Amino acid sequence: MKFQRLITAIDVHAEGNPERVVTGGIPFIPGKTMLEKSKYVRDNLDHLRTLLVHEPRGHNNMYAALLTPPSDQRAHFGVIFMEPSGYATMCGHGTIAVSTVLVETGIIQPSEPETEILLDTPAGLVTASVQIANGKAISVTIENVPSFLYQEDVTIHVEGIGDISVDIAYGGNFYAILDADRLGLAIRQDQASRVIEVGQRIWRAVNEQIKVHHPEQQEIDCVNYVEFSTSSTNPKAHMKNAVVVPPAGMDRSPCGTGTSAKMATLYAKGQLALGEEFVHESIIGSLFCGRLLSETRVGGFQAVVPSIRGSAYITAFHRFVVDPEDPFQRGFCLGEPESPYSYGFGTS
């Protein structure tokens, strides 16, 4: 039997959200920065993304992370984050998953009680501190990229809904953040389809009516996700969220970059202090523990450096092959066609 390609990967979930960490079988990826490398994959090797995250090997809520040599030599590895609809500049649950894989498989030699890993992402350098006991990763705390409130209380018109107000914030990706209760949305598992449908409409409207540009990385130029906020149901949590991932997905975890964007928004509004614990609950009840470490500036924006703590668990080891006779060797996706806003760095 002859195969065109063999790709090795390890499946993980971080607080319920899946990540497929690709460890081998990927060609050389050129680029001076991780953002350039990610764009190269988008423009030249996108079939790898569709092969790995779309059906029949994946599904509409599968994520993947390609391990590469870093562009910044201070880092241990570079990471390119993939989704059903495109690419992300940063992924919090993905970083927790990658860090867990690196230490639990011995790719990075674990050192108890804590092993520090530096990852080079398209959004910048991210530090992950892996808490280890008896050789197992118990939890991972990531120090994310500087996060900030970009625009507050922006009014957009959404077809079938009317005028609504959203906050636009950056936590490694751009988010449109709004109160679920104002739209009569219940953040519950049995209401996920409804939340996704409304989130898709808001996502389209936001990107059609609002232009965003990261002040230091102009290629990051679209709102990636819609984040609904509501009161928590877990007494340990401060708030609950649901992050809609185009074209038809939803984060099962509380979303690392979404939690960072939410904390930056609360800080800008005087509702969260530096060093104050912020526990975020997901639609399935899993938790991330966040905290703002320090103030900084990003361009002209007041920003904060957030940390996120969560846990991940390895679920499978894969050897994916491509049969040249397979009519669906690059995968397929039911549902909406991809949008230019699907990519984590717009169309630049």
Which residues are designated catalytic?
A: 91, 255
Handedness of CA 290, 227, 249, 344 (dihedral sign): negative
* Distance of alpha carbon 35 from alpha carbon 47, whole angstroms: 18
Task: Name residue 83's beta-bridge partners.
Answer: 86
Which of 103, 100, 67 is CA-nearest to residue 82? 67
Which residues of the chain form beta strands (DSSP E)?
5-14, 17-24, 64-68, 77-83, 86-88, 114-121, 124-133, 136-143, 148-158, 162-170, 174-179, 225-230, 239-245, 249-250, 277-281, 287-298, 301-310, 312-322
Which of 74, 76, 83 is CA-nearest to residue 18? 83
* Distance of alpha carbon 49 from alpha carbon 281, whole angstroms: 29
